[in-house]
Structure 1
Amino acid sequence: MARADIGIDLGTANVLVYVDGKGIVLEEPSVVAIEKRTNSVLAVGEEARKMIGRTPGNIVAIRPLRDGVISDYDVTEKMLNYFVNKVVDKKGFGRFFMPRIMVCVPTGVTEVEKRAVEEATRQAGAREVYIIEEPIAAAIGAGVDISKPNGSMVIDIGGGTADIAVISLGGAVVSESIKVGGDRFDEAIVRYMRKQHNLLIGERSAEKIKVEIGTAYKRKEEKSMKISGRNLVTGLPLSITINSSEMLEALDECAEQIVLTTLAVLEKTPPELAADISDAGIIMTGGGSLLYGLNTRIEERTGIKVIVANEPMSCVAKGTGSALGSLDMLETGGTFKRR
């Protein structure tokens, strides 16, 4: 029987699957389209994401994870089952192959929430399930040797949460998780457009604005783009041009929360580890780390260099898969318990 370990970055926005020896084999949005009358799954992943905001009354596009944790258990189980089977079939492991699966969760989730993730993963076909916290997985995926007695600081900004941790000897010494991530950035843009321009836009439009002209630090060159939505006064479609300075204002509160949490973690860090971080710098991972100027803003406020990891969106998935080769070290560091 073929054997391979699987790591799953079960994100609020996207699910990434890493297979031992193969790398990232799947990356799709965490969205499921359900037919309400029969409760049957019509589409999962990218196909379902295209339906958000565009479905008729009998179909609903659901994002079963909110703020990094399961908000709809049954739909999450169906989504995991679909993705695991897709990977197993694509890689030719055979129908009865049951892999070991490591799944990451945000820092500070409850035991009940961890067990919900574990049970959904078992139902999806896992032989053994392990849970790892996101910043630990992100550090491993970014190439940090977390087994050493050196302090490493990671800021992982996903779709639902920002997880900030100081890691040493395989475990988190100090950590914080806040419910600020890509989704909150999008919501902030939607609110700003409604308040400042009386324009209602959808989450996909907000995400496009964030990627193209979003910023957490004043840009050297102003950028602008045209955006369409519904005028809240007339009720008619409307297109306007917005600029990056407006997005700095829209995203300021979210960016500041991440900065303040980073400062709070540093204040709690033991001095020896703080010295290590000062020398090595802070590593940023996750899709949120790609927001223009966020690394510069954190660097300016902390006085410590901030490095955005290579391929930041896949760090957690890579680290989650790689962690299965270091179970003893991670258990010693208190990162997880065997279940």
Structure 2
Amino acid sequence: MFAISRDIGIDLGTASVLVYVRGEGIVLNEPSVVAIDRNTNKILAVGEEAQRMVGRTPGNILAIKPLRAGVISDYDITEKMLRYFINKACGSRFLIRPRIMICIPSGVTQVEKRAVIDAALQAGARKAYLIEEPIAAAIGAGLDISQPSGNMIVDIGGGTTDIAVISLGSAVVSKNIKVAGDNFDEAIIRYMRKKYHIIIGERMAEEIKINIGTAYFDGKEEKMVVKGRSLLSGLPQNVEVTSSEICEALQEPLEQIVEAVHSVLERTPPELAADISDKGMVLTGGGALLKGMDRLLRERMQIPVYLANDPISCVALGAGKALESLELLEKSETVIDIHKIR
């Protein structure tokens, strides 16, 4: 049985792409990585398969991330990646091309917005819409953003962190910084190089972050054996690192996020600040899963901090739900229609 058309919400992230299909929920969650042959420019793999190639490819194969800091850095590769994910999520069930809602970081330029819209249309969308990530994250986290009451969202993704205070369906105060999960990995790589004189890859850094990484050291020491290559001998080397060391390694990017949250709170109108003081802020995005992130922000901001039920899926879920309430959101200018940006 074929469906005539379905609405699709896409969280087009720096680290991963999530696809929400109306009536089915999240149907796809894969890394936003593409492997191409340098000699022929042919795409060899996309998503999970391409991710397995990162750091392990011969000279003629390049595994790249076509999105940097939440925006398109390689248009052609992004369009092909989007087409692949849309076809994989939808298959041949659609007689009419779907409407697609794509999430973008707050504060992107008109040129960057047009690039995302054009890529979606080229990839097979009948009509494409954009929604800012903090708005989508708030909707996906189950917050009622339609009321005249302050809701604060901190969405920590792979390439950017979006912070916003939302009321009556729109962001009253917002800030986007290019510091997020990828920066945590880079900080760990730098720390291992500086302290232990070993080089580790992105995948090992991510394993360290997931297994023993912490934003707030609570005194419970955890250990992990890290495998890399010695800068001194050039040979493979294993070292044991602790969670307190990784907490130390992450201080610089964490401090930047804390300062950005503080900056948004400073600019929040008093009435909305009072609401946030009562209700607290909600954390979404994969970076919010870093152990102790909620405790760090709670201690530094002196307000309640909550982790969303499914932080990784919130943005994609919100994009899908936004399409179901498109007319209402368009009136509040939360959703940017293609005709409004051309």
TM surpasses 0.5 = yes
**The one of 60, 63, 69 aligned to 2:71:** 69
Give the alignment of 1:318-333 within 5 angstroms. 318-333=317-332
1:97 deviates by 2.9
Q: Say yes or no: does 1:39 pair with 2:38.
A: no
- One-letter amino acid of the structure 1 residue matched with residue 17 of structure 2: V
Residue 256 of structure 1 aligns to a residue whose secondary structure is helix
Q: Find the residue that maps to 1:48 and give its secondary structure.
A: helix
Please state whether the residue corresponding to 1:318 is helix, strand or coil: helix
Q: What amino acid maps onto 1:212 in structure 2?
A: N
TM value normalised by structure 1: 0.97
Match of 1:301 in 2: 300
The one-letter amino acid of 1:97's match is I
Return the offset for 1:338: 1.9
Amino acid at match of 1:25: V
Q: Which sections of structure 1, spanning at least 5 residues, go unmatched?
A: none
Paired with 2:261 and 2:327, the residues of 1 have a C-alpha distance of 29
Query: What is the deviation of 1:325?
Result: 1.6
Q: Where in structure 2 are the equivalents of 1:197-208 lying within 5 Å?
A: 197-208=196-207
Aligned-partner SS, 1:337: strand
Deviation at 1:98, TM superposition (A): 0.3
Normalising by the residue count of structure 2, what TM-score does the alignment of the two structures yield? 0.97
Give 2:316's aligned residue: 317
- The answer (yes or no) to whether the contact 1:170–1:329 under 8 Å persists in 2 is no
1:189-204 to 2 correspondence within 5 Å?
189-204=188-203
Once the 2 structures are TM-superposed, how far is the Cα of residue 145 of structure 1 from its aligned partner?
1.1
- Which residue number corresponds to residue 78 of structure 1? 80
Tell me by how many angstroms 1:249 deviates. Answer: 0.8
* Alignment of 1:141 onto 2:140: yes
Letter in 1 for 2:132: E
Deviation at 1:107, TM superposition (A): 0.8
Q: CA deviation at 1:326?
A: 1.9
* Structure 2 equivalent of residue 16 of structure 1: 18
Work out whether residues 24 and 318 of structure 1, in 8 Å CA contact, stay in contact via their aligned partners in 2.
yes
Matched residue, 1:50: 52
| Superimposed CA distance per residue, residues 54-79 of structure 1 (whole angstroms, 9 cap, x where no aligned partner) | 11111100110111111111100010
Provide the secondary structure at the position in 1 that maps to 2:154: strand
Q: Counterpart of 2:158 in structure 1: which amino acid?
A: G
- Residue 117 of structure 1 and its aligned partner are, at CA, apart by 0.6
Query: Residue 57 of structure 1 aligns to which amino acid in structure 2?
Result: G
Per the alignment, in what secondary structure is the counterpart of residue 238 of structure 2? strand
Answering whether residue 111 of structure 2 is matched by residue 112 of structure 1, we say yes
Amino acid across the alignment from 1:18: Y
Paired residue type of 1:119? D
SS at match of 2:11: strand
The amino acid across from 2:93 in the alignment is: F
Match of 1:292 in 2: 291
Mapping for residues 177-196 of structure 1, pairs under 5 Å: 177-196=176-195
Give distance in 2, aligned partners of 1:299 and 1:332: 35
Post-superposition Cα deviations, 1:286-313, rounded to whole Å, max 9, x if no partner, equal: 0000111111111111111000000100
Helix, strand or coil: the match of 2:101?
strand
Q: Distance in 1 between matches of 2:79 and 2:162?
A: 24
Higher mean displacement: 3-12 or 326-335? 326-335
1:258 and 1:331 map into 2 onto residues whose CA distance is 31
Q: Is 155-164 or 324-333 further displaced after alignment?
A: 324-333
Aligned length: 336
In the TM superposition, residue 327 of structure 1 has moved relative to its aligned partner by: 2.0
Note the 1:153-192 alignment, pairs <5 A: 153-192=152-191
Identify the residue that residue 123 of structure 1 maps to in structure 2. 122
Letter in 2 for 1:249: E
**Helix, strand or coil for the counterpart of 1:313?**
coil
Greater shift after overlay, 191-200 or 324-333? Answer: 324-333
User: 1:37 offset after TM fit, Å?
Assistant: 1.2
Question: C-alpha separation between the residues in 2 aligned to 1:210 and 1:97?
Answer: 43
Deviations 1:122-159 (A, max 9, x none): 00100010000000000000001111111100000000
Instruction: Note the C-alpha offset of 1:87.
Output: 1.3
Structure 2, unpaired ranges of 5+: none
Q: 1:136 corresponds to which letter in structure 2?
A: I
